[in-house]
Structure 1
Amino acid sequence: MAQNSSLRAVGWARSLPLSSGVKAARDWTRAHLADLGWEGGAPDLVDSVVLAVSELVTNAHSHAHSTAQLILTWDEECLHVTVHDASSRLPERHAVSDTALGGRGLFLVDALADRWQARRCPRGKDVTACFQPPRTAPPS
């Protein structure tokens, strides 16, 4: 490791009980992305992150019947969006009919995020999606 290298990261966490509603998660996430300056520089990415947060928190509330712990971590390369819930059952993608009202959350997360993973924890599971902002061209 280079002598001057160090991990620079910033993060935020919020607990979202079942009674809080998913809108609180979306608004909270959008505010922190604005703090990172993404609203003006990468508005489509902001919308993708907010939609993924909505889907992951909805899954925690609907399938795990649990409070969702939402954690955002920015390490200057990737915004890691983690949602923890109390169920150890890992999410699964299922075939969904064209007329179904739900069941597309993981398909959306897979399409929006650069990558995602789910893993069991001692008290439930974490589902983490990574979002990388577009690289700006180096000055000429």
Structure 2
Amino acid sequence: MSDIASFPVPQVWDVMPDPSAIPAARRLVVEIARFWRVPLSNEALRDAELCTSELVANAMEHTRARCRVAVRWTGERLRVEVADSSARLTSRDRAQDLTTSGRGLILVEALSHSWGWHPLKTGKVVWFECAADQPVTGDSRRAVLVDATRAI
């Protein structure tokens, strides 16, 4: 069995433009990671949860339309992508010292191992990745990946 074939199937869903959908989206990301047995500590899962909240909230605030969330496990990193209908990336330098908003991408940059964005035909995808707390190699890597695919 090749390692690529043993990765869990990415999970993708639409999030409606309703503020109550933000907590549900972040909880679902954590539930998926736990279901897949992604080797992330509770602290790393909290970081992924917060980063998800920020990206989904940004998408809702700037488009007032639904967005699409995708979660993938690469074998080394948990990747969360949020696609929306705006081609414009919100500025991570926009926040003023006394404002209470505008710091979402600064938090994502600080809490994730990597992040970025790329344009789509109609919009963009903003993503972040959280690395596994410990490298998963050899037989233990194969066991984590095989168990995750059986559970789905």
TM-score bracket, normalised by the shorter chain, equals: 0.7 to 0.9
Cα distance in 2 between the residues matched to 1:85 and 1:5: 33
Please report how far the alpha carbon of residue 99 of structure 1 lies from its aligned counterpart in structure 2 after TM superposition. 2.3
Superposed displacement of residue 5, structure 1: 5.0
Matches of 1:94 and 1:63 in 2, distance apart? 16
Mapping 1:40-79, distance limit 5 Å: 42-79=41-78
1:114–1:74: structure 2 CA closer, same or farther, 3 Å change rule?
same
Secondary structure of 2:13's counterpart equals strand
Aligned equivalents of 2:132 and 2:57: distance in 1?
Answer: 24
How far does residue 81 in structure 1 lie from its aligned partner after superposition? 0.6
Query: Could you say which residue in structure 2 is the equivalent of 1:92?
Result: 91
SS of the residue corresponding to residue 29 of structure 1 reads helix
Partner of 1:12: 11
Deviation at 1:78, TM superposition (A): 1.1
What one-letter code is carried by the residue in structure 2 that aligns with 1:135?
Q
Is there any run of 5+ residues in structure 2 with no aligned partner, and where?
A: 138-152
Q: Give deviations 1:84-115, integer Å, cap 9, x for gaps.
A: 00111123212423321111000000001111
Flag as ranges the 4+ runs of structure 1 deviating above 3 A: none
Determine if contact 1:66/1:87 at 8 Å carries over to the other structure. no
- Higher relative contact order (Cα pairs below 8 Å, separated by 6+ residues): 2
Instruction: Compute the RMSD of aligned alpha carbons.
Output: 2.1
1:29-86 CA distance string (max 9 Å, x none)? 12112213358x5100000000000000000000122211000000111111100001
TM-score normalized with structure 2 length: 0.79
* 1:121 correspondence with 2:116: no
Q: How many residues align?
A: 134
Structure 1 residue runs of 5 or longer lacking an equivalent are none
Greater Cα offset, 72-81 or 46-55:
72-81
Higher fraction of helix = 2
Residues in 1 aligned to 2:59 and 2:80: alpha-carbon distance in whole angstroms: 14
